[in-house]
Amino acid sequence: MRRNVRWGGRYVSGDDQLEHTLIQSLKTLRRQIFSWQHEWQSVNPSLYLQPFLDVIRSDETGAPITGVALSSIYKILTLDVLDVNTVNVDDAMHLVVDAVTCCRFEVTDPASEEVVLTKILQVLLACMKSKASVMLSNQHVCTIVNTCFRVVHQAGSKGELLQRIARHTMHELVRCIFLHLPDVDNTEQSLVKGGSSVKNENAGLDTDYNFSGKSENGSGASEFDGQLSSGVYNSASSGLIGGMMDESIPRNDNGKDAVPYDLHLMTEPYGVPCMVEIFHFLCSLLNVVEHSGMGLRANSLTFDEDVPLFALGLINSAIELGGPAIRHHPRLLSLIQDELFRNLMQFGLSMSPLILSMVCSIVLNLYQHLRTELKLQLEAFFSCVILRLSQSRFGASYQQQEVAMEALVDFCRQKTFMVEMYANLDCDITCGNVFEELANLLSKSAFPVNCPLSSMHILALDGLIAVIQGMAERIGNGSLGSELTPVNLQEYTPFWMVKCENYGDPEHWVPFVRRRKYIKRRLMIGADHFNRDPKKGLEFLQGTYLLPEKLDPQSVACFFRYTAGLDKNLVGDFLGNHDEFCVQVLNEFAGTFDFQDMNLDTALRLFLETFRLPGESQKIQRVLEAFSGRYYEQSPLILANRDAALLLSYSLIMLNTDQHNVQVKKKMTEEDFIRNNRHINGGNDLPRDFLSELYYSICKNEIRTTPEQGAGFAEMTPSRWIDLMHKSRKTSPYIVSDSRAYLDHDMFAIMSGPTIAAISVVFDHAEYEDVYQTCIDGFLAVAKISACHHLEDVLDDLVVSLCKFTTLLNPSSVEEPVLAFGDDAKARMATVTVFTIANRYGDFIRTGWRNILDCILRLHKLGLLPARVASDAADDSEMSSDPGSHGKPLTNSLSSAHMQSIGTPRRSSGLMGRFSQLLSLDTEEPRSQPTEQQLAAHQRTLQTIQKCHIDSIFTESKFLHADSLLQLARALIWAAGRPQKGSTSPEDEDTAVFCLELLIAITLNNRDRIGLLWQGVYEHIANIVQSTVVACALVEKAVFGLLRICQRLLPYKENLADELLRSLQLVLKLDARVADQYCEQITQEVSRLVKANATHIRSPMGWRTIASLLSITARHPDASESGFEALTFIMADGAHLSPSNFVLCADAARQFAESRVGQTDRSIQSVDLMAGSVSCLVRWAQDAREGTAEAEAAKLCQDIGEMWLRLVQGLRKVCLDQREEVRNHALLSLQMCLTGVDEIHLPLGLWPQCFEMVIFTMLDDLAEIAQGNPQTQKEYRNIEGTLVLALKLLTKVFLHLLNELSQLSSFCKLWRNVIGRMEKYMKLKVKRGEKLLELIPELLKNTLLVMKTKGVLVPTSTLGGDNVWEQTWLHVNKIFPSLQSEVFPNHDSEPLHSNPVLGESASDQTE
C-alpha cells in the first residue's frame, strides 16, 4: 500500500490524522500481535483477520493490494491457526467467506484481475479444506460454490489458465463437500460434524434457497453482469444463491421443484441441505438440452459440449465420493432417480463422444453404488442408449458406437452385472430382456461381417469373454443345489401376482426368479400363438396354467398389459369389441395403469402406446370411456367429472388427427381448440392455460395411434419417463447377487451358442497372438462352464468348432504338413486347447469325441503321436497290478513281448521316427539338409504335441463318466470304419488298427465297467474277424486284443466270464487260412489265459470254448504243443478239472490222443490224462456222499456216472488208433477206468449201457478192422495183439463186475453178448491169429469157473429165455462143446434130473 500513490502520498505529507483506516488497522494489528501472551486458540480470530478482510472488501484498493490481502488470509487458513477449538471460530469463518465472496477492487489491467480471481478461488478452497470448515453453515457453503461458479462463468472471456484453475477449484470444492456425505447422519437436516440439529419445518419461505431460483433483491444477475467489468465481485449474503446462474441458462420449471429448505436450516453448520442444493444446481446445468431449440446457439457457453461436460464431471465426482451414502438421503436420491437420470438419458444420445463417455462413467458409478435404487432407470439406459448407440443401424456414428461398446464392456467386467440384469430384468415380466439383448449385441458386434477384424470386434469380444470368465470364476463358489430342477406350473396362479418372500435370501429369490422367467417365456410363446389366432393363443395359455380354466377379465387384461410382442392391432380390436367379456377386459385393462398426478395428454399417450386404437367410432368411444374413467378416478385435479375427462380426451384425439394428418389443410388454432372445449367441465370452462398447455403439447408431439413398426429400441419420451418414475415406485426390489453361480446355468444356455460362434469367428479372422490367447481363454471358460453345468451339447459344439482350427481335419494340400503345422501358431494353440478340454472336461463330451479322434488319427498318420499312446493306455493297468512295479516309469513301447506285430511291419512311427524322416538323406534323390526354419517349425510341432498329453485321454479313461466313456468307445469304432471284404488301402488299415488298439486300451482300463463297453467292443471285433479272409495286422490285433481282454478281465468279472469266454468263439470263426497263420500264437495266448484264470472259469459254456480252442490245435503242427501244455495244466492230477469241464477236457484229450501231429508219446500222455481223470470222479463221488443231502448226492452220482460214461467212450475211440502203442495203451487205460471205479458206486443201470456202447462196440470195431482190406491191414500193424488185449479187457471187466451185473434183470442178455463176441473172435481170419484162438477157450473157461464159484452159473429149473444156465450152454456148446464137462465134471451123469428142460433143449440144439 505504501508503494501505491494513493496510499503512499498521504503518508509522506506527515499528516497522520489523514492516514487511511485500512493502514491504521494493519499497523495496530502489528503492534498487538507481539503483545499477545496467550495461545493462539484463545485469541479471537477476528482480531487478526479483520484488517485483511477490510482490505478485501474495500473498493478503493487496487488489484495488487487485494491480492496480497487474499494471500495473507490464505496463509492464515493453511497454517492451521484456526481449528474447531479456536474461540469464536464460527464467526471468523463466516466473516472470511462473506468478505471474500464480496471482494471488491479496481481493475487496472486484465492480468492483475485474473491473479485476484485466482486468489479468491484459492481462499475459498482453503476455507472448505481447513479444519474449521465444519463450522460453515449450509448457506455459506452454497455461497462459496456460487462464487466459484461465477468465476468459472466469467473466466470464459479471460485467459486459459484462469479457466483451468476455476474449473479445477470447482471440482475440488465439490469433492471436498461430498467427501463428507458418508459421515453425515441419516436425517434431512444432517450436519457434517457436531452442531445442534434443528427441526426441519419446510415452511416454504419466500427466500428460495434453490440454485436455479432467481434473486429476490436485485443484487443478482444484473449486478453480476454490470459490475464484473469494473472488477467488483459481490454476492450479498441475503440473496444467497441469487443470480447464481446466468439468465440465459433456463430453469427447469416443471412445477414440482423440491420444497426449499427453510432459512433456519440453511444457517446451521453444513450438511445434506447444501449438498442437495448444489446437486440440484448441477443437474439444472444439464437442463439446457431441453431448450436447445430455443435460439441458444448465440450463447456459446450453454450450447456447445463445454457446460454439460463440466457439469457431468462435477456430478461424477459427487457420486464417486457420496457413494452408497446417497441412498440414506431421500432428497438426494430422488434427484438422481429422476432429474439426473432423465438428463443422462438425453445426453446419452449426444453426438459428442466425450459427453457420452462421461454419461457412461456416471451410470457405471451409479450402478456400483446405487443400483438397488435404480432398477428401471438402468433398464431404460441400456435399452434406449447403449443398445441403440452400439449398432450402426440406428444411425450412430462409429465414435458413438465405440464409446457405447467400451462402456458396455466396462459393465461386463463387473462380476455380478450380467447376473443382476438377468435376475432383475430378464426374469421380470414387466421389463425387457436386457441380459439377452446385451449378450446378443456383444456376440453380433464381435462378428466381422465381410470386413477385416477391427478394434470394435476385439472390444466386443473382450466384453463377451469378461461375462463368460465371470461365470467360470463363480463355478468354484458353489450354487444352491448342484442341479437346478426344471420349473413346472401345476396349477393356475395369477402370473402378475407372483411374489418372493425374501429378496435378500438366495434360497427364496433363485426359485422365484427362475419361475418368473419360465412364466415370461411361456407368455412370449402365448403371444406368438395369439398373434396367429387370438382364440388359440388364449387356449394355449390356459393349457400352461397361465390363464384360468374359465377365463376372467382381469387375467386376460394382465396378459395384454404385461406381455411383450403382442400384435397391437389384435389387442386393440379385442379391447374395442362390444362383447360383454371384452368390455370387462377393457375396464380391467385400464385399471392396470397408474395415472396419479399425470397430465391428461401424458396419460393418454401412455394408454394408447399399448395397443392400436381401432378405427370405428364406437370402438374408440368404448376405449376412451374406459380410459377417462380410470384417469378421473386417479387424477381428478381440475376435472369436474368423468364426462369432462371423456370429452377432453376425445377432443385431444381430434386435435392430434387435425395437427398431424397431412390431408387436413386448415389446421386448428389454439383459439379454435379452446372454443371447442367450452362448458365441458360440468357446465363450466376449463382454465385457459390448462387447455393451452395441452394444445401445444399435442402440436409439438404427436400422439401415435399406430404402433411403431420394427421393434427397434424405443426413444425415451417425456411421457414414458413419467410412466417409468411411476413404475419404479411399485417395481419389485432389486435383487443383489453374490459370487455364487445361481442362475449361470440358465444364462449360459441362452448365450452359449452365439458366444461360441462369435469367439470362433474372431479366432478365425485374428492375426495376432494376443487375440488368439483371448479367444483361447474364452474357449476354456466356455468349456469349464459347460462341463460344470452339464451342458454336454454346448461342449460338443465347442469341440467341433475348435477342431476346425487345428487344421488337422483339412485335407492336406501342403507338401509338408508337419512343417506347416509348426509354422501355424493358431492351429497349434487350437490343438493344445482341444486336448486340454478333452483331458479336463472329457466327462461331458459326447459326440465331440468323434472330432477329437479325427485329430488324433491325423496326428497318427503324420507320425506325430508319441509311440506310447495306445500301448501305455493298455499296459498302464498291467504294470500297476504288479505289486513290485510302483514308481516304475512307463515304458515307451509295447511292454508285452508277445504282442509284437506278427503280420505286416509297421512303418516307423512316434516323434523320433518322424524326426529321423525329416533328417533322412538316404531316399532315392538326395535331399537337402533341413533349414533352420524347418528345424524350428518341427521343434514347435513336437513341443505342441507334448503339451497335448494325448495319451492321458486313454490312460485316464477309467475316470470318465459312463456316458462319455461309451461315446468315446463308439467314436473309436466309428473312426475305425466298417471292415471291408477284400483289400483295403494300407492307410485305412493302419487307422483301423490304431483305433482298435485304443479301443482295447480303454476296455482294459475300464475293467470295472466292462459291462458298459463290452457289447460294442465285441461287435466291432466280431465284424473284423468275420469279414477278414486274409491275414493282416487288423485281424491279428482283433484276435489277440480279444484274448488279452479275456486274460485281463476274467479274474475281475466273474459275472461276465461267460460273455468273455463266449466271445472267444469268434476265434473259431476265423477264416481257415487266417486261423492257420495265427494258430500258434493264439494257442499260446489261450494257454496263458488258462494258466492264469483256470480257477475263474466256472461255467460249462466257458470251458466249452476253451476246450474247442485247444482241441483245434491238436492237429496243428505248430500250435499243438502249446495246446497240449494248456490241457495238461488243466487235467494233470485233476488240478483244474470240475464237473463243468470234465467231459470237455476228456474230449479234448481224446483229440490230442488221436492226433498224429506230435510224437506217439504225446498221444500216450493224452491217454494217461484221460485215465488219470477217473480219480477226480472218485473224489467227487466221495465228497458228494459225505457232504450233501441224499437227493443231491443221488443227482450228483448220476452226473458223475454220465461223465464217466463219456470218458470211457472217449477212450474207446482211441482204442481204434492206427498206432499200436497208442491203441494198446488206450485199451489198458480203458480197462483201468472200467475196473477202478468201485468207489464211485455207479448206478447199476449204467453198466449194460457201458457194455453196449463201449466194450461191445469197441470189440466189433476192432473185429471189423482186423477183417478189413489189405490197405487197412497195412495201416493197423499187429492188430492181433490189440484183439487179445480187448478180449482180456472184456473178461476182466465182466468178472470184476460179476456180482453187480448178476443182479440185473438183463444179465442173461449181457452174458449172451459176451459169449457172442468170443464166438465172433474165434471165427476171425487174422494173420498170426494163433494166439487169439488159444486165448479164447481159456478166457471162456476161466469166466465160467468164476461164475460157478460165485454161484451165478448153477443149474436151475427156471423156464424162459432168461435162464442163465440154459442160455450159457446153449451158446458155449456151439463153440466149445467140451467145456461144460470141464467146468462141471459131476454134472453129466444126471443132466435130466436136475433140469429136464435144459437137457431137452440141449439135445435139440445138438440135433
Active site residues: 616
Instruction: Single out the residue of 975, 1078, 1063 nearest to residue 1028, CA to CA.
Output: 1078
Specify the amino acid at residue 302.
Answer: T
Contacts of 1237 (CB under 8 A, 6+ apart): 1174, 1177, 1178, 1204
Instruction: Single out the residue of 330, 130, 124, 104 nearest to residue 232, CA to CA.
Output: 104
Region for residue 599 given its phi and psi (left: phi exceeds 0; alpha: psi -120 to 50; beta: otherwise): beta
Grid cell 503339451 is found at: 947
Write the burial class of residue 1217 (CB in 10 Å: 0-12 exposed, 13-18 middle, 19+ buried). Answer: buried
Q: Which three cell numbers stand for residue 496?
A: 402378475
**Percentages of the chain per state (helix, strand, coil), in multiples of 5:** 70, 0, 30
Q: Computed from CA positions of residues 205, 206, 209, 211, in that sequence, does the dihedral angle turn out positive or negative? A: positive
Say if CB 1060 and CB 926 are below 8 A apart: no
Grid cell 388454432 is found at: 669
Write the burial class of residue 1075 (CB in 10 Å: 0-12 exposed, 13-18 middle, 19+ buried). Answer: buried
Q: What is the four-CA torsion angle of 1314, 1315, 1320, 1322, rounded to 10 degrees?
A: 120
SS3 assignment for 983-1013:
CCCHHHHHHHHHHHHHHHHHHHHCHHHHHHH
Write the burial class of residue 1236 (CB in 10 Å: 0-12 exposed, 13-18 middle, 19+ buried). Answer: middle
Q: Which three cell numbers stand for residue 576?
A: 374395442
Instruction: Report how far residue 1280's alpha carbon sits from residue 1386's, in angstroms, rounded to the nearest whole number.
Output: 36
Cα 360-365-367 angle, rounded to 5 deg: 90
Q: Look up residue 1387 and give its DSSP letter.
A: G
Gap between the terminal Cα atoms of the chain: 188
Instruction: Report how far residue 1333's alpha carbon sits from residue 1318's, in angstroms, rounded to the nearest whole number.
Output: 10
Q: Which three cell numbers stand for residue 584?
A: 370387462
Q: Which residues sit opposite 271 in a β-bridge?
A: 191
Q: Computed from CA positions of residues 252, 258, 260, 261, in that sequence, does the dihedral angle turn out positive or negative? A: negative
H/E segment holding residue 298: none
Instruction: Single out the residue of 389, 547, 384 nearest to residue 456, CA to CA.
Output: 389
Say if CB 620 and CB 703 are below 8 A apart: no
Say if CB 1317 and CB 1290 are below 8 A apart: yes
Instruction: Single out the residue of 755, 841, 774 nearest to residue 475, CA to CA.
Output: 841
Instruction: Report how far residue 503's alpha carbon sits from residue 517's, in angstroms, rounded to the nearest whole number.
Output: 16
Instruction: Single out the residue of 1219, 1355, 1356, 1343 nearest to residue 1292, CA to CA.
Output: 1343
In this structure, the chain runs to a length of 1407
* Half-sphere CA count of 1089, side-chain side, radius 13 A: 30
